[in-house]
Amino acid sequence: MGGLRADGTWRNWAGNQVARPARVERPGSEEEVSALVRRAATEGRRVRVVGTGHSFTGIAVSDDVLVTLDGLADRVEVDVASGRVRVDAGMRLDVLNPRLLDAGLALPNLGDIAVQTVAGAISTSTHGTGLGFRSIADAVVGLRVVTGDGFVVACDGGQNADLLHVARVGLGALGIVTEVTLQCVPAFNLHAVEEVRPVDEVLESFADHAAATDHAEFFWMPHTGRALLKRNTRTTEAPSPPRNRRHALRRRWKRFKNEEVMANAVFGALNHLGRLRPSLVPRLNGLVAGDGRAEYLTTSYEVFASPRRVRFYEMEYAVPVDCGLEAFRRVQEVVDGLGRPISFPVEYRVLGADDIPLSTASGRDTAYIAVHVFRGTPHEDYFRAVEAVMDDHGGRPHWGKLHFQSAATLADRYPGWEAFLAARDRLDPERRFSNDYLDRVLGA
């Protein structure tokens, strides 16, 4: 994960964003958050909050006051009857998930990485997959936010409901979120089926898979004709117990081999080799793509999220689901015409529409297309070419992933854009919580 260094700098997980803050604040309470905002206001300084550093954009960067909410990361209050859970905003999802399971609950949907803080995940419109489901932020039914003047605003269905509607995806531009209330669902397991298939076959059949499966996605390995199709079905069926100790050890080893050895250690080694010898990348990609099938059943969050130890840069765009596969095919053409090999897969997911003003799925069922490169390798020409494809389809960039858009190009792509700006003027008229990235994508 990203974090603060001994030399006083902060770096994100990928290492492509660096901050040199004048001061780092580590509040342990909401009152301390209010106090530090007031102090920054008297000094004329801007304030930004950092989570675990999994955004690739400069959304968290500040050379003024940098705030970490590690001291607001422990509290979980469960109302079993309603399924509502109040949590500290700095709590990490991978810490929250097992605590929810202990209470018989789960988040309705998750992305494929779960080390983000709750506030960081909702603020950037982080999402999973599944046309019948929505982003993590859609589960938010209450927030507490420290505004630009240091006051606390509580938002829920009974008070400041208009602000809650907007602030669920706030980019950190409306204030510092200190507490989040989530509407959870009864705990569930996922029956996972993962198959390597010809990519053309996956493209032809994916709409049917997405309609028939709770959570469907696929990964195409560039320069190969293969894709990994993943289908996860929700169930209350319990995993079958191991027959004996040897069976249990074999099951654990298989999971470790798939997630750590192959997906991280071997994949990382092949990417290092590919950077030294680019001509080998297509052949190495064929090894990574493999050929086979895996099937397993376990708790929802263990299937949704996997460890990511090979560091990379990423761009992800959201387009209307009806044109998603067409946009994906055009991305394949970009990869084939780039003139150099790409060693990371291209990911495709789908999600149901929501009504959150700055959600990437606002107002439309959505397809997500994500492209990646190994950290430290050239990417701008690749990402710009992909972005040009997405522009043709009214694409919306993930707020925490690399893109080249500005407020001028984004405003018309969100039906709730003006509602968000009005809330920003109300909660932070002095732009206490802005930075260069937000000046660019929201306007100064």
CATH number assigned to the domain comprising residue 114: 3.30.465.10
User: Is 409 contained in some domain?
Assistant: no
Same domain, 328 and 384: yes
Give how many domains the chain has, as a whole number: 2
**Residue 376: CB atoms within 10 Å:** 14
Same domain, 128 and 230: no
User: Is 60 contained in some domain?
Assistant: no
**Which residue has tokens 């590690």?**
70
CATH number assigned to the domain comprising residue 327: 3.40.462.10
Q: How far apart are CA 200 and CA 328, in angstroms?
A: 12
Strand duo 3-4 + 10-11: pairing:
antiparallel
User: Is 424 contained in some domain?
Assistant: no
User: Is 42 contained in some domain?
Assistant: no
pLDDT at 238: 85
User: Is 408 contained in some domain?
Assistant: no
Residue pair 163/427 in contact (Cβ under 8 Å)? The answer is yes
Same domain, 195 and 178: no
Same domain, 221 and 323: yes
pLDDT at 89: 98
Q: What is the pLDDT along the chain (444 residues), one digit of tens a residue?
A: 678 888 889 999 999 999 999 999 999 999 999 999 999 999 999 999 999 999 999 999 999 999 999 999 999 999 999 999 999 999 999 999 999 999 999 999 999 999 999 999 999 999 999 999 999 999 999 999 999 999 999 999 889 999 999 999 999 999 999 999 999 999 999 999 999 999 999 999 999 999 999 999 999 999 999 999 999 999 999 876 544 445 444 444 344 335 433 455 566 666 666 676 677 676 766 777 677 889 999 999 999 998 777 889 999 999 999 999 999 999 999 999 999 999 999 999 999 999 999 999 999 999 999 999 999 889 999 999 999 999 999 999 999 999 999 999 999 999 999 999 999 999 999 999 999 999 999 998
Same domain, 181 and 195: no
Among residues 356, 378, 397, the one where a domain terminates is 397
Same domain, 121 and 194: no
Among residues 382, 397, 412, the one where a domain terminates is 397
**Which residue has tokens 């394949």?**
332
User: Is 429 contained in some domain?
Assistant: no
Same domain, 207 and 101: no
pLDDT at 253: 35
Same domain, 390 and 374: yes
pLDDT at 282: 64
Same domain, 261 and 331: yes
Same domain, 270 and 376: yes
E strand or H helix at 391: helix 380-391
Among residues 170, 186, 202, the one where a domain terminates is 186
**Which residue has tokens 């509607």?**
165
From the number of C-beta atoms within 10 Å of its C-beta (0-12, 13-18, 19+), residue 429 rates as: exposed
User: Is 162 contained in some domain?
Assistant: yes
Same domain, 162 and 198: no
Same domain, 161 and 207: no
User: Is 101 contained in some domain?
Assistant: yes
Domain that holds residue 168: 76-186
SS3 state at 346: strand
